[in-house]
């Protein structure tokens, strides 16, 4: 990615003064963060060459440039999922674009299924690590020795500590744990869920991991937060559906948006 890529050029033309240093990607239920973006300039993804054309209900497809606290931010409302077309590189160009604009930190959010009884639907988890059992990587085909990127502390310990401190200050319980990525779009079988629990995973979801790999490759620090919208398959009587995910997500939306805004404001660059 050069600074002259069409999406970077378009953003420079639309927002010549913008110098965001923190990027955020909003998953289901996290959209209310945009209400905390000051002096916002909203740019639709279809105006940005290579940005995803959203296909999932609940993902609107806009880039918000503005400020949260003292930080300039670039917030992606809507992401591309690998399950849409099998391509795990769908977020490569947007993330490279935000990196080229100056973003050094990526704050990711998602909706996930809980694998632990004490993490009830509606609660939050900060990722300490992830598992990628499908072993799909957005770096396949990348050149150079940088492609062999370390995934140790992929979720930045200092950013995780900030998230915990802010959540405690807000009186919001923040669990921490390991996120296991499934390609989807089907939910897991109960047998898969038993296997993931046995492996030591704490939550399961269909996003975030490709973006973390891309962001680490691009030298960005990563923080990722899950909103647990349900107990994973077989762990409760409730039947799973996207509508159920969205309804739990929206019920928690105001709280999680404001905690997320406080976490972003507290990040030290």
Residues classed as catalytic: 28, 59, 81, 83-84, 111, 206-207, 230, 242
Nearest residue to the partner ligand HPA, using Cβ? 113
Measured distance CA(26)–CA(116) in Å, rounded: 24
DSSP, res 124: E
- Other beta carbons less than 10 A from residue 258's beta carbon: 16
Using CB under 6 A as the criterion, what x/- string covers residues 171-210 for binding ligand HPA? -----------x----xx---------------xxx----
How far apart are the C-alpha atoms of 228 and 231, rounded to whole Å?
8
**Quick one: 20 or 113, whose CB is closer to ligand HPA?**
113
Residues 258, 248: Cα–Cα separation, whole Å = 17
Give whichever of 46 and 238 is closer to ligand HPA, judged by the CB atom.
238
Tokens of 61: 């497809």
Residue with smaller CB distance to ligand HPA, 105 or 232: 232
Strand partners, 197: none
Residue 259, token pair as written in the block: 């905690």
Q: Residue 123, interface with ligand HPA (CB under 6 A)? A: no
Rounded to the nearest angstrom, the gap between the alpha carbon of residue 259 and the centroid of all alpha carbons in its chain is 15
For the CB of residue 185, give the shortest distance to ligand HPA in the complex, in Å. Answer: 9
One symbol per residue from 73 to 112: x for binding ligand HPA (CB under 6 A), - otherwise; what is it? --------------------------------------xx
């Amino acid at each position: 990615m050069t600074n002259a890529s069409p999406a970077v050029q378009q953003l420079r033309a639309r927002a010549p003064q913008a110098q965001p240093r923190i990027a955020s990607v909003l998953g289901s239920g996290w959209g209310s963060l945009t209400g905390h973006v000051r002096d916002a300039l909203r740019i639709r993804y279809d105006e940005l060459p290579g940005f995803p054309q959203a296909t999932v209900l609940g993902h609107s497809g806009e880039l918000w440039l503005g400020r949260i606290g003292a930080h300039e931010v670039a917030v992606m409302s809507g992401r591309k999922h690998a399950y849409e077309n099998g391509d795990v590189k769908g977020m490569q160009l947007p993330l490279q674009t935000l990196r080229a604009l100056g973003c050094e930190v990526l704050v990711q959010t998602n909706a996930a299924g809980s694998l632990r009884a004490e993490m009830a639907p509606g609660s939050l988890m900060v990722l300490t690590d992830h598992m990628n059992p499908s072993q799909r990587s957005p770096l396949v085909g990348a050149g150079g020795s940088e492609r062999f990127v370390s995934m140790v502390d992929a979720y930045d310990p200092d950013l995780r500590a900030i998230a915990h401190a802010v959540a405690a200050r807000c009186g919001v319980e923040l669990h921490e744990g390991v996120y296991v990525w499934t390609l989807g779009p089907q939910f897991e079988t109960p047998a898969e869920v038993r296997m993931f629990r046995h492996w030591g995973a704490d939550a399961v979801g269909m996003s975030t991991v490709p973006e973390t790999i891309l962001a680490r490759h691009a030298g960005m620090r990563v923080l990722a937060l899950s909103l647990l919208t349900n107990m994973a398959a077989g762990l409760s009587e409730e039947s799973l559906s996207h509508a159920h995910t969205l309804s739990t997500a929206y019920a928690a939306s105001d709280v999680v948006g404001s905690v997320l805004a406080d976490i972003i404001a507290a990040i030290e660059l």
